[in-house]
Amino acid sequence: MGLGLDLILLGPPGAGKGTQAKKLVEKYGIPQVSTGDILRDAVKNNTALGIEAKAHMNRGALVPDEVVIGIVKERLKRGDCSKGYVLDGFPRTIAQADALFSYLNECGCPINGVIDIRVSKGYLVKRLSGRRVCRSCGFGYHIEFSPSKGNGRCDNCGGELFQRDDDREEVVTKRLDTYEAQTAPLIDYYEKSGLLKTVNGVGDVEVIFNDICKIVDGR
């Protein structure tokens, strides 16, 4: 690691963090560090922390903060992070944020930007619960924003469209409630540090990305 473009993306499920992170990777040539991806990678490669994480996951338990933090630290030590990185999905809690803050300051390369993608809860429920997927080819639709032309059938292959379990309204609402309770306090945390900037996450993807780039380039 070194002093570079060290960013954190905040935002609730469905806010578009993953999409915007990938666009930042393409534009600025820095890696996307996604907690989900690096956890799966650690488990796949049977690292010491990966084995420990897998034991918790197999029991259906949350992976403890110290294990997640350890895996993130291992990832940030890789050479591709020397010019910076985009953290997507981490930190999720104040405890994780404190641990990250301490570690990066010890390394002499603190986070220099936190961008919160703001989308209202009502809009997110509509966005996520309206998704439909083709059982045959996996193509995605939305009942309001990008519906299929057929009556519940895929335009590409004629397959049946269905709603994934985690896109059901009650599940989406629960996920958003969990985010608000656990992760939203990070907004205050980073606001007090003077690092937080916000963008409107509703609208054209390119417009949102341009808003993010203005913040990044104006650091």
pLDDT tens digits, one per residue of 124-139: 999 999 999 999 999 9
pLDDT at 44: 85
Report how far residue 4's alpha carbon sits from residue 24's, in angstroms, rounded to the nearest whole number: 14
**pLDDT band with cut points at 50, 70 and 90 for residue 218:** confident
Report how far residue 203's alpha carbon sits from residue 33's, in angstroms, rounded to the nearest whole number: 25
Which residues share a beta bridge with 10? 116
Contacts of 148 (CB under 8 A, 6+ apart): 132, 141, 154, 155, 161
Catalytic residue (choose from 23, 75, 127, 131): 131
**pLDDT band with cut points at 50, 70 and 90 for residue 204:** very high
Mean pLDDT confidence for 184-202: 94
17 is a catalytic site residue: yes
Report how far residue 18's alpha carbon sits from residue 79's, in angstroms, rounded to the nearest whole number: 22
135 is a catalytic site residue: no
Say whether pTM exceeds 0.85.
no
118 is a catalytic site residue: no
Mean pLDDT confidence for 48-54: 86
pLDDT at 118: 95
pLDDT at 34: 87
**pLDDT band with cut points at 50, 70 and 90 for residue 154:** very high
- Name the burial class of residue 119, with classes exposed (0-12), middle (13-18) and buried (19+) by CB atoms within 10 angstroms of its CB: buried
pLDDT at 178: 86
| Between residues 62 and 206, the one the model is more confident about | 206
175 is a catalytic site residue: yes
Catalytic residue (choose from 17, 23, 75, 132): 17
pLDDT tens digits, one per residue of 61-103: 778 888 888 889 989 998 999 889 999 888 988 999 999 999 9
**pLDDT band with cut points at 50, 70 and 90 for residue 196:** very high
Of 59-63, 100-104, 105-109, 188-192, the one with minimum mean pLDDT is: 59-63
Catalytic residue (choose from 22, 40, 175, 197): 175
164 is a catalytic site residue: yes
pLDDT at 46: 87
Catalytic residue (choose from 164, 168, 214, 219): 164
Catalytic residue (choose from 23, 92, 127, 132): 92
Mean pLDDT confidence for 200-211: 96
